[in-house]
Amino acid sequence: MRIVDALATTDALSAIFDDASTVQVLLDVEAALARAQAGLGVIPASAAWAITQAARADGFDADVLAREARASATIVIPLVAALTARVEAIDPVAARYVHWGATSQDIADTAMSLLIDRACAAMGRDAAALAASLRDLSDRHAGTVMLGRTLLQPAPPITFGLKAAGWLAGVSRSWSRVELARRDAARIQLGGASGTLAALGDRGPEVAAALARELALTPGEDGPWHSSRDRLAALIAACAILAGMLGKIARDVSLLMQFEVGEAREAGGGSSAMPHKQNPSGCARTLAAAARLPGLAATMLAGLVQEHERAAGAWQAECPVIADALQATGAALEAMRGVIAGLAVDPARMRANVDATRGAIFAERVVMLAAPVLGRSVAHRLLKDALGRSQASGRSLAEIVRDIPELAAVVNDEVLRSLDDPHAYLGAAETFRQRLLASI
Amino acid sequence: MRIVDALATTDALSAIFDDASTVQVLLDVEAALARAQAGLGVIPASAAWAITQAARADGFDADVLAREARASATIVIPLVAALTARVEAIDPVAARYVHWGATSQDIADTAMSLLIDRACAAMGRDAAALAASLRDLSDRHAGTVMLGRTLLQPAPPITFGLKAAGWLAGVSRSWSRVELARRDAARIQLGGASGTLAALGDRGPEVAAALARELALTPGEDGPWHSSRDRLAALIAACAILAGMLGKIARDVSLLMQFEVGEAREAGGGSSAMPHKQNPSGCARTLAAAARLPGLAATMLAGLVQEHERAAGAWQAECPVIADALQATGAALEAMRGVIAGLAVDPARMRANVDATRGAIFAERVVMLAAPVLGRSVAHRLLKDALGRSQASGRSLAEIVRDIPELAAVVNDEVLRSLDDPHAYLGAAETFRQRLLASI
Amino acid sequence: MRIVDALATTDALSAIFDDASTVQVLLDVEAALARAQAGLGVIPASAAWAITQAARADGFDADVLAREARASATIVIPLVAALTARVEAIDPVAARYVHWGATSQDIADTAMSLLIDRACAAMGRDAAALAASLRDLSDRHAGTVMLGRTLLQPAPPITFGLKAAGWLAGVSRSWSRVELARRDAARIQLGGASGTLAALGDRGPEVAAALARELALTPGEDGPWHSSRDRLAALIAACAILAGMLGKIARDVSLLMQFEVGEAREAGGGSSAMPHKQNPSGCARTLAAAARLPGLAATMLAGLVQEHERAAGAWQAECPVIADALQATGAALEAMRGVIAGLAVDPARMRANVDATRGAIFAERVVMLAAPVLGRSVAHRLLKDALGRSQASGRSLAEIVRDIPELAAVVNDEVLRSLDDPHAYLGAAETFRQRLLASI
Amino acid sequence: MRIVDALATTDALSAIFDDASTVQVLLDVEAALARAQAGLGVIPASAAWAITQAARADGFDADVLAREARASATIVIPLVAALTARVEAIDPVAARYVHWGATSQDIADTAMSLLIDRACAAMGRDAAALAASLRDLSDRHAGTVMLGRTLLQPAPPITFGLKAAGWLAGVSRSWSRVELARRDAARIQLGGASGTLAALGDRGPEVAAALARELALTPGEDGPWHSSRDRLAALIAACAILAGMLGKIARDVSLLMQFEVGEAREAGGGSSAMPHKQNPSGCARTLAAAARLPGLAATMLAGLVQEHERAAGAWQAECPVIADALQATGAALEAMRGVIAGLAVDPARMRANVDATRGAIFAERVVMLAAPVLGRSVAHRLLKDALGRSQASGRSLAEIVRDIPELAAVVNDEVLRSLDDPHAYLGAAETFRQRLLASI
């Protein structure tokens, strides 16, 4: 993990995309290709053995490879040269069969599929843990009332359980999209120079199938996809949606954590200057990571316009974008998993904030009773008036309504008694909460 | 359709998003809500009748509504006021039940779902026609050889049928994603002020289900999604992928249309200054429309971070973005449908361009035969040499290879005879073509 | 103004980009070209007269033009045809000189320059009014203390005057960038088919200079810029920065407007469901409009890669993007001008929110005195302890500090007396405020 | 340089943003702050000496810092802790004055300013070399005629000198914008917790000025800019424009390099599969790097909406975005510098491609002569007819025109003789070329 990227990755993901891992996965593909071909008698078995022996990242100089990659606009050309030299030292004849019938992009794309698979597996662990914490949070707070807030203003009450269920459902749907897109995107690439595998004569499709088996990747039977990148774009778009939904939770939590609101608090988060500070650090990290995704997704989407059989530029742009997108999404997942796991919720403060509105948020309830009798505009006017009196006097809306004959006439005693009670005006909150949990 | 947007929409789509249609669909939702509630006895049947009578766009002044929308940051507030006034003229009691228990966003979101449904239906017609044309094109040119082109340079041959099949598969997969996302996204929204439907007491979920039936929309049983916008973002991302894949075809066709290449030509496309010009106008329009999508999708993705129960700003940003994104995607579809339907393909020129390489693109074939015998680097060196001599002399690679003893020794007569024949080096082109067509 | 775009434009800007205005400005360019050429004797004076007579938008059918524009991927071809027909009716010979030596893009680009100029002039009025309101707000509240807030948590105090000065300086710098970019971008385009003006023989540069004079536009003496679009991209990027800075103000105000914070309130902003609501409608509109800009700017930036002398697709994509970007920026400006002009500020609540921290935000002040004596970590630990006791007991930090001998020893009486006073810990707030105002 | 980023950076830039450099620059800021304060008597001189001694990156573990950065969402907190421990070992009293009066963001932002300065200096060298190569290229080919190409179709001729001058002017204007934005953006940040420097009493502005002198950075007299990020966004937008203009050159060169066009060729660029390939590798790398910028710029623009005095998320998102944006822009600059320095131009092929149109591109010239006499539509019709005959017969347009009496009558002998000569129809090409060169 590099310092400039520190907030936008995790230990697990930065290890997947570091140089040692990247070189090894490229070598794994070359070795798997050789074994697949040897298994079909396309190249000698001894060549596959030697290539597999040589395909160990520890002897390769990543810095040199990275530098040489720039000359040909692909890492694969210097990598194949270096691998060939190593195979040569083991078995000169085997060296003739390195990278047999493949094109650079075949290796790079298949390696990226493997990296994607690993990254999604790592993310999946955090996604599962986060989902479990959110479900638990929702269940624990099924009966915790709090202000609904719309356009950042108080609205009729909800339960914190409903809010958490909404967070969970959003994250779960979004993670499902990532999983679906991953299964479609992480597939082998083997097309040779022009995507026809002509160099392998009539053995091409067989070799491709065997390579898929070697790497346990989706075979992609409908052939190469050198310049058809919709599946990768779909994966990164799905990551961006997930990151956005995580960002939504982070925004909510950081707003609830405001000193003036005080309804929730994440653990940790100090300040270098202020001993009193309890920062929403996990939320900030989530939002920071999520902020990267729209731009990265847009780059993938713009890059779909790839020329002919293999593109000049748009393909070469993808690698760091995919690596950054997966890492930033994973960073948001990890950070939010930590936030939710350690979230301190303050039901008393939630209730106090409801009560502080002195019943103003229940004005709608009175309007619904008054409008059919008095007409909508009269009802609205009377309520605005009542709210003004409540605000001026510090008395609750219920008390004021009792004093206004037109309203008192349409609001029965039972309603009046419960008018300040948030539990009496939750509508379908619990129904929706349960349906959200069931929808996952 | 406005002039500034002319290239980025179609007749059908601009009609769906014009003022008359937009106002009507908003009114349709209000009327359907009233009927759904009347059917359940929540409001009087007479109120639903009067509201339905009044809910006709022709009497509303779209310019006034648009202007007033700015004060409250939503069109629904002035619309409800205007609708209420009209209902009042029909039946003053009915006016009390306009917009009963709903919040502005309920109406606006449900209306957008209806517009999305219509827009996707219109796009579906072009998608089907384009797919049919592409399949036909692929079948007709299953045996038409042409240069593969990678990084804009000649590569071993492919068939134009394979290329067209790749275009088709990319578009078909992408259209399927749009369809899937549409079915998920175009759903009713009914949550009331805070998303609990508290104003409807315990009737909320019933009313929501009835509203879905009235409008023939996905019910969305897991409740309101006021600030959970992942499904809409997924739809626009899917549109962006589709537009990108259409842009890929447009790029390819416009490159094939170059005077120096001359392998395909779209019908139409004049110039205001030059009588000789045959412009790739349909491709330009496709690329122009497609170019809008990454930015629009990024805006939807960034907008997922919505505060609490209903957002201040991010929600309000969506409407023009969705409208623009669907129209631009539809414009790209329509333009490309026209391009492919009228595409003139020149197989002779395709073959001539293959032949103009004098066999250079078949060098790989010789390398594959020579490398196992001579070693990879010797084979590469001999071929580079041979290619240099071919270029200098104007003789074909086959002739030169015949003159180089080391190469002649490893390339048998049969190969030598067919070395310049693109049909002899197509690998799995036809297999992949058929699999691509079968994959749809 | 269309309903789908209602929040993202203004009356003035939607009028500039509507069909009547767009058609007229295109015709203005054709007429100005004719007069410029007639003035130099390149075409007959009578032709310029007839063309100018015919160049009146009211006789043109914008819908037909928009539809026909799609066939050639430019509005100018059908417009020139329609104009020629009208000129023909006035003077058949004059019709021969319509669009003399120009290419479609010359007309469209020059017309866009005129629209940009008008749009920026309209925006300039709102920018000036907003700046004046902000300066006034800053001056009035130079002494109004409030919480600083970092990561949405309380921090040492600032003045509202400093905050408003920061808003002003950000907007003023950003508007200056827009103005600078506009002067560079809004220039004539006249290059003919290939950008050499060959059709005008050796008169090209003269005609271009005369056209610039006719239209009072920047002449662009270094010639055509058909595929060099950096100046336009710079303009839209500048708009995006301005919109972002307006969004920053809107975010701040909407946060200050929260019920639990209550420090400021914009005028207006009702709700369709809740009589008690006072929504940050202007802020929401500002944020919604600002949200569009990053994506639009990215589209312009991606579109810089234009092929050769005139591009196939990237150019055609620009028109709606520029129109949307200017309108959305203008909408944010107008909305924020309204918000600031009507902003109600509550200094008492600001002070109350400071006091509610019970001095916690001044802990840093004690640390700065204690650390040189006690060491940083001891000081931090003592303060954390003190803050805990303050929170638990409800007593102020000053009182607690007085009771802790180690701290009491390093904090003199004068500091202790003023420790809870925000005015005593404002540092350079007023200096920075004045410098910010002076920097504009 | 990491492998996943290899194509999107340079040796120089990856060294600037690597861990050693990043840690050192952060330490440099802490040390400079201490020296600035000691110079003013704010802290003891001995403390500044000890802090400066300790502030050497080689003893810090970047991996540990990166990991710890995640807990507080900033690298500065663990860095200050580690630095304090090291200072403590040198002089316990000095340790009390580490990071005196500063907030984390002060250090991180000022360090980023230093990194920006260095990165721009490194880029400036490539920008200057590229500009010199382009000027030379333009001068050498002032008289080299080639096809103009619009919408990828042949248009009247230009000179390659004009084309290169357009490239140069675009890059030079764009580099100037980067330079201007850098001077404005790379400034010190010193505001303390809330941006008032209250912790420094009345010495804040003096300390800030001294810090600027210590680091030779723009002082930023109008105070801190913790949540006013317009200058940084302007810098990255300027980079994006530069990258886009480099991408435009890369697109043009890669199109000219097509086998069927063959007018230019970059040096280098092999293929792993095909010995005959000469890939536009430098162009691909330029396009790949440039492709990243619109998304990165959009992220900076969206991030302008920062809350209050310091933001929760948007600020934390910037660091990797700025680092990636500068590196990718620098990679495009370096790659294009290499492409242009080694560009092989083929004037004979350029002329051959002009001639291959058989004069079709000069049809406009005939129209300009014929239209005033015969009318526009008659002239257009005759020319279309002539072009058809030319195409069918293989004869040149001039020959055909000679045979069409109506045209022959209006085209004088001199024109007829030169009708196929591109040099005779270059209009103001050389004038514009010289003005472009002079405009820089």
The token duo for A221 is 């039977």
Assess contact for B70 and C284: CB atoms under 8 A.
Answer: no
For residue B48, which of B86, B83, B95, B109 has the smallest C-alpha distance?
B95
Assess contact for C241 and C172: CB atoms under 8 A.
Answer: no
Beta bridge partners of A155: A148
Residue B238, sorted as left (phi over 0), alpha (psi -120 to 50) or beta, turns out to be alpha
**Which chain C residues are closer than 8 Å to D299 by Cβ?**
294
Instruction: Choose the closest CB to D302 out of A80, A291, A335.
Output: A291
Does the pLDDT at position D166 exceed 90? yes
Q: How confident is the model at residue B273 (pLDDT cuts 50, 70, 90)?
A: low
CA distances from B266 to B131, B281, B344, D149, D402 (A): 17, 8, 6, 17, 31
Subunits that touch chain A (at least 3 Cβ pairs < 8 angstroms)?
A: B, C, D
* Gyration radius from chain D CA atoms: 30
Beta bridge partners of D264: D345
The token duo for D170 is 């675009």
Assess contact for D411 and D371: CB atoms under 8 A.
Answer: no
pLDDT at A221: 82
D152:C302 CB<8 A: no
Alpha carbons within 13 A on the beta-carbon side of C113: 28
Assess contact for D205 and D197: CB atoms under 8 A.
Answer: yes
Q: Which amino acid is at D59?
A: G
ipTM of this predicted structure: 0.97
Beta strands in C276-325 (DSSP E): none
Q: Mutate one of C1, C3, C26 to test the B interface: name it (highest B CB count within 10 A).
A: C3
Mean pLDDT of B335-343: 97
Instruction: Choose the closest CB to A274 out of C147, C155, C277.
Output: C155
A387:C260 CB<8 A: no
Pairing outcome for strands D153-159 and D145-150 = antiparallel
In whole angstroms, what is the distance from residue C43 CA to residue C50 CA?
12
Does the pLDDT at position C376 exceed 90? no
Of the listed ranges A13-22, A156-165, A378-387, D314-323, the least confidently predicted one is: A378-387
pLDDT at D218: 87
Alpha carbons within 13 A on the beta-carbon side of D408: 7
In whole angstroms, what is the distance from residue A403 CA to residue A388 CA?
14
**Which chain A residues are closer than 8 Å to D280 by Cβ?**
312
> Which pTM value belongs to this model?
0.98
pLDDT (tens digit per residue) in A199-244: 999 999 999 999 999 999 988 888 999 999 999 999 999 999 999 9
* Gyration radius from chain A CA atoms: 30
**Phi and psi at residue D36, to the nearest 5°:** -60, -45
In whole angstroms, what is the distance from residue B290 CA to residue D14 CA?
34
Q: How confident is the model at residue B276 (pLDDT cuts 50, 70, 90)?
A: low
Window 203-262 of C: residues touching D by CB (8 A cutoff) are 204-205, 221-224, 226-228, 230-231, 233-234, 237-238, 240-241, 244-245, 247-248, 250-252, 255
**Which helix (H) or strand (E) is A154 found in, with range?**
strand A153-159
**Which chain C residues are closer than 8 Å to A275 by Cβ?**
363-364, 367, 380, 383-384, 387
pLDDT (tens digit per residue) in A78-133: 999 999 999 999 999 999 999 999 999 999 999 999 999 999 999 999 999 999 99
Tell the burial category of D253 from Cβ atoms under 10 Å away from its Cβ (0-12, 13-18, 19+): buried
The catalytic position among C182, C310, C358, C433 is C310
CB of A194 within 8 Å of any CB in chain B?
Answer: yes
Assess contact for C440 and C172: CB atoms under 8 A.
Answer: yes
A260:C258 CB<8 A: yes
**Closest chain B C-alpha to D382 CA, distance in angstroms:** 10
CB of D286 within 8 Å of any CB in chain B?
Answer: no
pLDDT (tens digit per residue) in D11-24: 999 999 999 999 99
pLDDT at C273: 57
pLDDT (tens digit per residue) in C293-304: 999 999 999 999
Mean pLDDT, all residues of chain C: 95
User: Looking up tokens 């290329």, which residue turns up?
Assistant: B163
Assess contact for A200 and A192: CB atoms under 8 A.
Answer: yes
CA distances from C168 to C325, C435, D331 (A): 22, 12, 37
In whole angstroms, what is the distance from residue C328 CA to residue C320 CA?
12
Beta bridge partners of B145: B159
D153:B258 CB<8 A: yes
Q: Which long-range contacts (CB under 8 A, 24 or more apart) does D367-374 make?
A: D367/B275, D368/C101, D368/C199, D369/D410, D369/D411, D369/D415, D370/D406, D370/D407, D370/D410, D370/D411, D371/C96, D371/C97, D372/C96, D372/C97, D373/D409, D373/D410, D374/D406, D374/D410
In whole angstroms, what is the distance from residue B313 CA to residue B290 CA?
26
Q: How confident is the model at residue D220 (pLDDT cuts 50, 70, 90)?
A: confident
User: Looking up tokens 């009377």, which residue turns up?
Assistant: A382
D275:B384 CB<8 A: yes
- With b for 16 or more beta-carbon neighbours within 10 A and e for fewer, the A13-52 pattern comes to bbebbbbebbbbbbbbbbbbbbbbbbbeebbbeebbbbbb
Q: How confident is the model at residue D283 (pLDDT cuts 50, 70, 90)?
A: very high
Give the torsion through C-alpha atoms of C70, C72, C76, C80, to 10 deg: -110
CB of D156 within 8 Å of any CB in chain B?
Answer: yes
pLDDT (tens digit per residue) in D171-191: 999 999 999 999 999 999 999
Residue D310 annotated to the active site: yes
Does the pLDDT at position C190 exceed 90? yes
Q: How confident is the model at residue D192 (pLDDT cuts 50, 70, 90)?
A: very high
**Which chain C residues are closer than 8 Å to B289 by Cβ?**
317
Mean pLDDT of C311-319: 97
Mean pLDDT of C149-170: 98
Does the pLDDT at position B278 exceed 90? no
Instruction: Choose the closest CB to A361 out of C154, C276, C361.
Output: C276
Please name the residue ranges forming H helices in B59-103. Answer: 62-72, 76-90
Q: Which amino acid is at A254?
A: S
- Which one has a higher pLDDT value, B269 or C419? C419
In whole angstroms, what is the distance from residue C355 CA to residue C366 CA?
17
In whole angstroms, what is the distance from residue B265 CA to residue B262 CA?
7
Q: Mutate one of B304, B378, B439 to test the A interface: name it (highest A CB count within 10 A).
A: B304
pLDDT at A46: 98
B295:C295 CB<8 A: yes
* Contacts A–B by Cβ distance under 8 A: 326
The catalytic position among A271, A381, A435, A439 is A271
pLDDT at D219: 87
pLDDT at A100: 96
Does the pLDDT at position C249 exceed 60? yes
The token duo for B140 is 């007709």
For residue C431, which of D222, D213, D227 has the smallest C-alpha distance?
D222
pLDDT at C415: 87
Assess contact for A6 and D79: CB atoms under 8 A.
Answer: no
pLDDT (tens digit per residue) in C164-177: 999 999 999 999 99
CB of D312 within 8 Å of any CB in chain A?
Answer: yes
A72:D279 CB<8 A: yes
pLDDT exceeding 90 applies to what percent of chain B? 92
Window 349-408 of C: residues touching D by CB (8 A cutoff) are 364-365, 368, 371-372, 375-376
- Which one has a higher pLDDT value, C27 or D381? C27
pLDDT at C100: 96
- Which one has a higher pLDDT value, D391 or C348? C348
Mean pLDDT, all residues of chain D: 95
How many residues does the structure list for chain B?
440
Instruction: Choose the closest CB to D294 out of A22, A65, A302.
Output: A302
Instruction: Choose the closest CB to D260 out of B261, B275, B294.
Output: B261
Q: How confident is the model at residue C309 (pLDDT cuts 50, 70, 90)?
A: very high
Q: How confident is the model at residue C271 (pLDDT cuts 50, 70, 90)?
A: low
Does the pLDDT at position A273 exceed 80? no
D136 C-beta neighbours (distance < 10 Å), count = 14
**Which chain B residues are closer than 8 Å to A97 by Cβ?**
372
pLDDT at B29: 98
Mean pLDDT of C85-94: 96
Q: What is the SS3 assignment for A222? A: coil
- With b for 16 or more beta-carbon neighbours within 10 A and e for fewer, the A378-394 pattern comes to ebbebbeebbebbeeee
Mean pLDDT of B183-188: 96
Does the pLDDT at position A276 exceed 70? no
In whole angstroms, what is the distance from residue A429 CA to residue A152 CA?
20
D244:C255 CB<8 A: no
Assess contact for A300 and C411: CB atoms under 8 A.
Answer: no
**Closest chain C C-alpha to D59 CA, distance in angstroms:** 22
Residue C433 annotated to the active site: no
C67 C-beta neighbours (distance < 10 Å), count = 16
List, in order, residues 6 or more apart from D392 with CB less than 8 Å away: none
B6:C80 CB<8 A: no
Mean pLDDT of D48-76: 94
In whole angstroms, what is the distance from residue A399 CA to residue A148 CA?
23
For residue D318, which of A289, C243, A146, A338 has the smallest C-alpha distance?
A289
CA distances from C149 to A255, C41, C398, D226, D310 (A): 12, 68, 21, 11, 7
Residue D151, sorted as left (phi over 0), alpha (psi -120 to 50) or beta, turns out to be left
A73:D323 CB<8 A: no
Does the pLDDT at position A271 exceed 70? no
pLDDT at C272: 58
> Least CA distance to C298: which residue of chain D?
D294
CB of B440 within 8 Å of any CB in chain C?
Answer: no
pLDDT (tens digit per residue) in A389-428: 998 999 999 999 999 999 999 988 888 899 999 999 999 9
pLDDT at D347: 98
Does the pLDDT at position D257 exceed 70? yes
Assess contact for B296 and B319: CB atoms under 8 A.
Answer: no
**Phi and psi at residue D145, to the nearest 5°:** -85, 150
In whole angstroms, what is the distance from residue D402 CA to residue D301 CA?
60
**Which chain C residues are closer than 8 Å to B197 by Cβ?**
none
Q: What is the SS3 assignment for A391? A: helix
**Which chain A residues are closer than 8 Å to B294 by Cβ?**
297-299, 301-302
C363:A261 CB<8 A: no
Subunits that touch chain D (at least 3 Cβ pairs < 8 angstroms)?
A: A, B, C
Q: How confident is the model at residue D273 (pLDDT cuts 50, 70, 90)?
A: low
